[in-house]
Structures are given as structure tokens and as C-alpha cells.
Amino acid sequence: MTLRLTVSDDVRALAPGFTHVAVEAHGLTNGPSNDGSSALLDEAARRLASRLDGRAPHEEAGMAAWRAAYTAFGAKPSRTRNSAEALARRALTDGGLPRINVLVDVYNAISVAHLIPVGGEDTDRIKGGMRLVRATGQEPFVTVAGGEETVEHPEPGEVVWCDDEGVTCRRWNWRQGVRTRLTEDSVNALFLLEGMGPAAGGAAAAAAAELAESLEKLSPGARITVHDPR
């Protein structure tokens, strides 16, 4: 794997049911949201509604496992929801899912359709490897508040993804930082599909395979590698 990913022993002890699948992609083509990416989001919302059949997203076993993991490191899961639950709730509203750019739309569609947290990072902006750790509380996290970039810090013990420069995603997969997010200029990316619970590995692998297929259709010639669940 080009970019080294590690999960700390502290996080493994906190959530032994955690697994993740990484999809590496090089030579992608990105741009503004278009009819194709919008159609993927609409179809994902339909698939989610059919899957839930009137139930709330947090009633799914995988989402319940995520809520338990969030509670274990001190977060309030009904207030700071994992990314999949937050997106699913938006998908079921009249406003629907946001349109960001093609690559973000694609991985958001996979997240909603499979009800699994999915994130995307611009690997050209990552410094060193990526680590899933429990924060000290001193790590910098670049975000936007009031339309301006600002630096925050995670709570001590919070589970975060980070690289050599700081936090890339807070509260596991709750909020991504602006430094490494996928923009319309991104050409190389790492997509992380995260699962929690007994069936997490298989679910993440199935979602990763669909993501890779979508990326290949949208970016012919891109080099895409799906790694085994870890």
C-alpha cells in the first residue's frame, strides 16, 4: 500500500469489532457535481429507504454498534453522529443529500446505499502515514467556522484519524478537516470504508467493490486498488 495506515492498540481495545477497507486511486478525474453524480445520490437515497423500510437509521445493527463505540470514548452519539448515520438522516429528508463534487458525491452515495461510514482523502495532501489513535488533546485540527479557517483541538481520549501534521478527521468519522479533503483539483485519493460489528468486514468489502466500480466508470484509466479488510 502506498500510504501506510495504522490503528492503535488503544483503539482496538476500545472497539474490537472495528474493521476498515482502504481503496487507493490514482489518476482520477474530478469536477463539479453533475447529472451522473447526482443520479448516484438519488439512487442511494432510494436504496436506503428500501433497506430501512420505515425504520430510523440508528436502529440498524451497524449503526447501533457505532453509537456504542462513540459512547465508549465519551462522545454523545445522538448529538455527534457517525458520518453514515448523519448522511442517512439527510437522505431521508425533503432536502436530500448535498452535492459537493463528483468524487465526494460518489463516496457519499456508497455510504448511504450501504449505510457504512466512507471518507475520502487527497493523498497528495497527507503528510506521512495515517493513524487512528486516541487523541492527547494537543493535536491541531483545521476546520471552518463562520466562513473562516480556524484551528481546533480534539478532546483528550477522542478517537481521531491523523497524519504527521495533525488531525484529518475528528471523532472517528464525524467531521473531516479541510486540509486533506477532496477538491475539484484532486487526482489521487484514499477512500476509507469503516465498519463496526460482527458482519463489518464483509459489508465494508462489498461497499468497497461497488465504490471501485463507480470510480472506474467515472475516471477511465485510473489505477484503483481495493485492499483487504483490516
Query: HSE on the CB side for 190, CA within 13 Å?
Result: 21
Grid cell of 43 as nine digits:
439512487
Nearest to 41 by CA among 98, 117, 121, 84: 98
83 with 171: CB under 8 angstroms? no
pLDDT tens digits for range 91-104: 999 999 999 999 99
176 with 189: CB under 8 angstroms? no
CA distance 212 to 226: 7
Sign of CA dihedral 13, 24, 217, 119: positive
Give the contacts of 201 (CB within 8 A, at least 6 positions apart): 19, 21, 195, 229
What is residue 40's predicted lDDT score, i.e. its pLDDT? 97
- Reply yes or no on whether the pLDDT at 109 is more than 90: yes
What is residue 31's predicted lDDT score, i.e. its pLDDT? 97
**pTM, rounded to two decimals:** 0.96
- Of all residues in the chain, the percent with pLDDT exceeding 70 is 100
171 with 70: CB under 8 angstroms? yes
139 with 167: CB under 8 angstroms? yes
Grid cell of 126 as nine digits:
497527507
What is residue 214's predicted lDDT score, i.e. its pLDDT? 97
pLDDT band at 145 (very low <50, low <70, confident <90, very high): confident
Grid cell of 162 as nine digits:
491523523
Burial class (CB in 10 A: 0-12, 13-18, 19+), 69: buried
